[in-house]
């Protein structure tokens, strides 16, 4: 069953509609959790989203794939200058409404359908709710809005979504262009940084020195392992970060993706943490259950330490204390 969402995004509506995505920070600037940002991770492919901006709903979208960690889009410009550099990126296939809808005109109909908390819209005042970004709504809200727009929900859902791999490729292509166009970096160095995107070259060599097997599955055959970034390659801001073996794990490829989505991660005591968003069936299918049982004590002094922070994980090494991030209990 799909879920239904409503996004308030006046500040970035042009970029997000034009680019076919939603982007949000992972937490508020003071580190506080935001349900509206967490919803970016809860959204599934096939979910339906209403786009609200400047008092109008002008687009409806279908979520194309799960969110991934990604840097703040460069073309946001001055909008959201205070947002963190890294956030959640959720690909959306948008459809414009030939008859845009002003929810204020439907306030009486919407009032009983909207949630009491985390509502994107105040039906009494007839205004969008400040603070709300991606908000969960009932199917009936979508049907009411689309009914007024003269558009069937089925027509919106019909159509091909791009695959997760295609979308992530396109996202990474952007980061790669930035590197290849940066002529302040020597050409050989640019090449190595680009190779690191695929877990190849000097990056792989650096990681393999310290990581001899996949820490989740225990697989040690190098042919089956990908050199994966802990801080994703597309989010790295320096060549050092892109090539640093400290910023890597040898993982089997589908585990690599789970890291990218923040669904599995290491705690600083070495335990593997599985996000509640990952279904238990997935955990079993991946063969993670035994790893979970035996996961305590994977790390010894001097090895990489992983910290849980609002269900997102950053890494640090004891030999790089300047990069230390304070542990915050969930």
Partner DNA sequence: GGGCGCGCTGG
Partner DNA sequence: CCAGCGCGCCC
The site for DNA (CB under 7 A) is made up of 8-11, 14, 24-25, 28-30, 32-36, 52-55, 77-80, 82-83, 117-119, 122, 125, 127-133
Q: Which is nearer to DNA, 10 or 285 (CB)?
A: 10
Closest distance to DNA from the beta carbon of 114 (Å): 10
Which C-beta is closer to DNA: that of 45 or that of 80? 80
> What does R_g of the chain's alpha carbons equal in angstroms?
21
SS (H, E, C) the chain: CCCEEEEECHHHHHHHHHHCEEEEECCCCCCCCCHHHHHHHHCCCCCEEEEEECCEEEEEEEECCCCEEEECCHHHCCCCCCCCCEEEEEEEEEEEEEEEECHHHHHHHHHHHCCCCCCCEECCCCEECCCCCEEEECHHHHHHHHHHHCCCHHHHHCCCCCCHHHHHHHHHHHHHHHHHCCCCCCHHHHHHHHHHHCCCCHHHHHHHHHCCCCCCCCCCCHHHCEEEECCCHHHCCCHHHHHCHHHEEEECHHHHHHHHCCCEEECCCCCEEECCCCCHHHHHHCCHHHHHHCCCCCCCCCCEEEEEECCEEEEEECCCHHHCCCCCCC
Q: How many Cα atoms occupy the beta-carbon half-sphere of 76 within 13 Å?
A: 21
At residue 205, φ and ψ (nearest 5 deg) are: -60, -45
Report the nearest approach of DNA to the CB of residue 328 (Å): 10
User: Which one, 41 or 190, has the nearer CB to DNA?
Assistant: 41
Q: How far is the CB of 42 from DNA (least distance, A)?
A: 13
Token duo for residue 288:
């993670």
- Pick the closer one to DNA by CB: 125 or 212: 125
Query: Which is closer to DNA, CB of 87 or CB of 232?
Result: 87
Q: Please report how close the Cβ of residue 142 comes to DNA at its closest, in angstroms.
A: 18
């Amino acid at each position: 069953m799909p879920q239904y969402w409503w996004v308030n995004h006046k500040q970035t509506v042009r970029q997000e509609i034009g680019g076919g995505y939603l982007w949000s920070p992972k937490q508020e600037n003071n580190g506080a959790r935001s349900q509206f940002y967490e919803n970016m991770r809860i959204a599934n492919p096939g979910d339906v989203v209403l786009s609200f901006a400047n008092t109008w709903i002008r687009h409806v979208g279908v979520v194309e794939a799960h969110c991934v960690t990604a840097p703040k889009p460069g073309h946001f410009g001055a909008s959201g200058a205070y947002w963190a550099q890294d956030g959640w990126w959720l690909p959306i296939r948008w459809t414009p409404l030939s008859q845009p809808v002003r929810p204020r005109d439907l306030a009486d109909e919407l009032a009983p359908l909207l949630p009491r908390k985390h509502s994107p819209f105040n039906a009494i005042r007839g205004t969008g709710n400040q603070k709300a970004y991606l908000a969960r709504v009932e199917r009936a809200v979508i049907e009411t809005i689309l009914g007024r727009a003269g558009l069937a929900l089925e027509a919106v859902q019909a159509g091909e979504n791009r695959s997760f791999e295609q979308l992530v490729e396109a996202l990474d292509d952007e980061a790669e262009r930035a590197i290849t166009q940066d002529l302040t970096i020597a050409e050989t160095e640019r090449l190595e940084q680009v190779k690191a995107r695929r877990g190849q070259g000097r990056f792989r060599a650096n990681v393999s020195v310290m990581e001899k097997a996949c820490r989740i599955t225990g697989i040690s055959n190098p042919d089956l392992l990908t050199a994966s970034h802990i801080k994703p390659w597309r989010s790295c801001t320096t060549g050092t970060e892109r090539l640093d073996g400290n910023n890597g794990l040898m993982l089997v490829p589908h585990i690599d993706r789970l890291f990218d989505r923040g669904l599995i991660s290491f705690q600083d005591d070495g335990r593997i943490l599985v996000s509640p968003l990952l279904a238990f069936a997935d955990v079993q299918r991946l063969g993670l259950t035994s790893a979970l049982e035996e996961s305590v004590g994977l790390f010894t002094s001097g090895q990489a330490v992983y910290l849980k922070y609002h269900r997102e994980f950053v890494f640090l090494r004891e030999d790089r204390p300047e990069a230390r991030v304070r542990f915050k209990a969930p």
